Amino acid sequence: MEASAGLAMQSRAAVGVGAGPGGVRRARAVIRVGKRPTAASLRVGGPAGAAAAAAAKPLAPLYCLKASRGHDSLHNSVDEALLLKRKSEEVLFYLNGRCIYLVGMMGSGKSTVAKILAEVLGYSFFDSDKLVEQAVGMPSVAQIFKEHSEAFFRDNESSVLRDLSSMRRLVVATGGGAVIRPVNWKYMKKGLSVWLDVPLDALARRIAQVGTASRPLLDQPSSDPYTAAFSKLSMLAEQRGDAYANADARVSLEEIAAKQGHDDVSKLTPTDIAIEALLKIENFVTEHSISSGPVGDLIVDSQNRRTKAL
């Protein structure tokens, strides 16, 4: 029986669907950001000038802690939640409102981890694939690939990332191929990027279990879904490996598993991964934020006060 982290996802997203013949329609995201942003809208206009807004809906509660039976497991789960919250409070100061972009192969858990990070940081959550689907008025990435092309999807993906990059206090789960376009890195570098590095065999097992219908680059007839998925993932990893390495922080599931004494990354929970992501973000921002100017001075002053307190 799963133990809930109690982290109800209240981030909201709404998108507008614009119609217009010919060319790639460009998405313009408009987000009202307050102290704790909870809603967003994406407005899309076409040559015909048609635009509509879809109603924002709260996300369902996220169950992110370990499945457990017994007092010890429940105690560990509570400890994880407390550690996650404590670390998020430490990292939040250094972020200074910057957006976080999760990158990684398909099936690596970007959306799940991004929702956890958004909740504990008080940020809004977005899935760039979902925004593209809604911007072009199609129910899935697979259908966009089928009826248009991968290039059409990538153009819209870049437009979405461009507009999100002008905002603050967002956690964005990107598509697996978002890293292949240099311009997307230009947008993501306005915030912080985190690579979820998952072993290919674990990805292949996960994808083989849930199917490939929603993943156009993997959806091929095969009597052995695992072998087919592993083969295609290996090719994609070869093509994108250097691109993923551009991320500001790398979260290796193999390293997390080793630290916890596991020999299988599937034993990790999304909370485990989110905690490690916050640790890596903290390492990056503390190393790169000590600079001249108001933000750098605040960070130095904060660190000096902490040192004196100790």
Q: pLDDT value at position 12?
A: 37
Q: pLDDT value at position 294?
A: 42
Q: Cβ distance 121 to 88 under 8 Å?
A: yes
The larger pLDDT score, comparing residue 294 to residue 248, is at 248
Using CA atoms, how far apart are residues 56 and 96, in angstroms rounded to an integer? 26
- Give the list of residues 6+ apart from residue 97 with CB closer than 8 angstroms, or none: 168, 169
User: What superfamily does domain 84-286 belong to in CATH?
Assistant: P-loop containing nucleotide triphosphate hydrolases (3.40.50.300)
The candidate with the shortest Cα–Cα distance to 85, out of 59, 65, 110, 60, is 65
Average pLDDT of span 231-254: 94
pLDDT at 69 over 70: no
Q: Cβ distance 85 to 178 under 8 Å?
A: no
State the residue for tokens 């108001």: 294
Average pLDDT of span 231-258: 94
- For the chain, give every domain's residue range: 84-286
Q: Where are the beta strands (DSSP E) in 158-292?
A: 170-173, 192-197, 249-252
Average pLDDT of span 35-59: 36
Mean of all residue pLDDT scores within the chain: 75
Using CA atoms, how far apart are residues 4 and 116, in angstroms rounded to an integer? 12
Residue 28, strand partner residues: 43
Task: To the nearest 10°, report the CA torsion of 131, 137, 140, 146.
Answer: -130
pLDDT at 304 over 80: no
pLDDT at 36 over 90: no
The larger pLDDT score, comparing residue 12 to residue 86, is at 86
pLDDT tens-digit readout, 278-296: 999 999 998 886 443 344 4
State the residue for tokens 């940081």: 121
State the residue for tokens 């990538």: 154
What is the pLDDT confidence band of residue 228, given thresholds at 50, 70 and 90? confident
Q: Cβ distance 149 to 155 under 8 Å?
A: no
Using CA atoms, how far apart are residues 131 and 98, in angstroms rounded to an integer? 20
Q: pLDDT value at position 261?
A: 95
Q: pLDDT value at position 75?
A: 58
pLDDT tens-digit readout, 140-180: 999 999 999 999 999 999 999 999 999 999 999 999 999 99
pLDDT at 55 over 60: no
- Strand duo 100-103 + 124-127: pairing: unpaired
Residue 146, strand partner residues: none
Reading the block at residue 240, the tokens are: 């994108």
Residue 14, strand partner residues: 41
Q: pLDDT value at position 65?
A: 40
Q: pLDDT value at position 282?
A: 95
Q: In what order do the strands lie in the sheet with 192-197?
A: 124-127, 170-173, 100-103, 192-197, 249-252
Q: Which of 32-36, 70-74, 205-209 has the lowest mean pLDDT?
A: 32-36
pLDDT tens-digit readout, 101-136: 999 999 899 999 999 999 999 999 999 999 999 999
What is the pLDDT confidence band of residue 257, given thresholds at 50, 70 and 90? very high
pLDDT at 309 over 90: no
Q: Where are the beta strands (DSSP E) in the chain?
A: 14-15, 27-30, 41-44, 100-103, 124-127, 170-173, 192-197, 249-252
